[in-house]
Amino acid sequence: MNLDPQIAGYLEALDSGFPAVHTMTGAQARAVIKSRFVPSRQPEEVGAVTDETVPVADGSVPVRIYRPASSTGAVPVLVYAHGGGFVFCDLDTHDGLCRAFANLLGAVVISVDYRLAPEHRWPSAAEDVYAVTQWTARNADRFGGDVERIVVGGDSAGGNLAAVTALMARDRGGPSLAAQLLVYPMIAADFDTGSYQLFGQGFYNPRPALQWYWDQYVPSPADRDHPYASPLAADLHGMPPAIVVIAGHDPLRDEGVAYADALTAAGVHTVQCRYEGGIHGFITMPTLDLAQRARTEACGELSALLAAP
């Protein structure tokens, strides 16, 4: 496996600049990440962007709704959970990715500003994303969405939340989901896989940070065995079809592959989009050719799946 040449060119700078979040509180890590965020001066044009607030069990969460630049009739809806280790990132950090997904899919994208750990521990974030998915099913016609083509998706920690939301929807009798889009998802708190050993240091998002994320969100080892924390522990029969994006130089590579394989073994139609030269987080780096290719190909696979009879 060869690292993507563009990534190789500035991996050392990326890696050395990654903050030592495992030495911080959640609030401190959040502040550091926010201070480094630079919004795009020319965000991708979409049809419309609106912000709303969705009620959840014991409060409310903001959402940002993106309409595609062009659409005809009712379109698919992607409920999207951002990455950030369950601790940081927000609607703004993933604005560019959600805009791209809206246009590439020709879909409404609903980005969820779920509550963050450690102030809100497991299963708060998952319950928030599930509540927004329920709300989406009830309100799809308000923003031109097709209730028959609701998808849940997310990257990294958000991939965990999307997978868990799909499990909750199956277990709780709805809403019906057409698919799930899981981008290098955090699936299990196993830090001794082959990919952790290979890429747990020097490849951005190091092992100490990834362990710390789990400590913030699911501090109890007993809770980590619950399927709504670690979906790899679940019975996966009856789950919606899945597109799983895998980065080859990622500590989470092996758990993503294991989850995709487990879905397939359970009879779930699953497509693995593998990018051997990628690192964790690469799809949110829009200057990378590999990121643009992955976005286009993953959305193409998802569009084909949604169009299938």
For residue 71, the model assigns a pLDDT of: 80
Cα 283 to Cα 244: distance, rounded to the nearest angstrom: 13
Report how far apart the first and last C-alpha atoms of the chain are (Å, whole number). Answer: 37
> In whole angstroms, what is the distance from residue 225 CA to residue 94 CA?
29
User: How many Å apart are CA 98 and CA 39, to the nearest integer?
Assistant: 13
Domain hosting residue 20, numbered range: 5-307
What's the pLDDT score for residue 309?
77
pLDDT one-digit tens code per residue, 216-266: 999 999 999 999 999 999 999 999 999 999 999 999 999 999 999 999 999
**112-135: average pLDDT:** 98
| CA separation for the pair 111, 143 (Å, rounded) | 14
Angle at 273 between CA 278 and CA 230, to 5 degrees: 85
> Could you tell me which of 65, 69, 26, 21 has the C-alpha nearest to residue 45?
69
Residue 276 confidence (pLDDT) above 80: yes
Determine the Cα–Cα distance for residues 304 and 20; give it in Å rounded to an integer: 41
- Summarised one tens digit per residue, pLDDT across range 87-109 is 999 999 999 999 999 999 999 99
Instruction: Give the C-alpha separation, 279 to 203, whole Å.
Output: 7
3-state SS, residue 54: strand
Please say if the pLDDT value at position 75 is more than 90.
yes
Euclidean distance between CA atoms 53 and 105, whole angstroms: 24
What residues are paired with 56 via a beta bridge?
A: 59
Partners of 110 in the β-ladder: 65, 79
pLDDT at position 277: 98
> What's the CA angle centered on 69, arms 63 and 72, to 5 degrees?
100
What amino acid positions are annotated as catalytic residues?
Answer: 156, 250, 280
For residue 226, the domain's CATH number is: 3.40.50.1820
DSSP string, 149-171: EEEEEEETHHHHHHHHHHHHHHH
Please give the torsion angle defined by the CA atoms of residues 293, 299, 303 and 306, in that order, rounded to the nearest 10 degrees.
150
What pLDDT, in 10s, does the model give residues 165-219?
999 999 999 999 999 999 999 999 999 999 999 999 999 999 999 999 999 999 9
pTM of the full structure: 0.98
How many domains are there within the chain? 1
Instruction: Express as a percent the part of the chain with pLDDT over 70.
Output: 100
pLDDT value at position 70?
Answer: 86
Residue identified by tokens 């991939």 is: 159
User: Radius of gyration (Cα) for the chain, nearest Å?
Assistant: 18
- The alpha carbon of 198 is separated from its chain's Cα centroid by a whole number of angstroms, namely 23
Q: Which residues of 88-100 are buried (b: 16+ CB within 10 A; e: fewer)?
A: bbbeebbbbbbbb
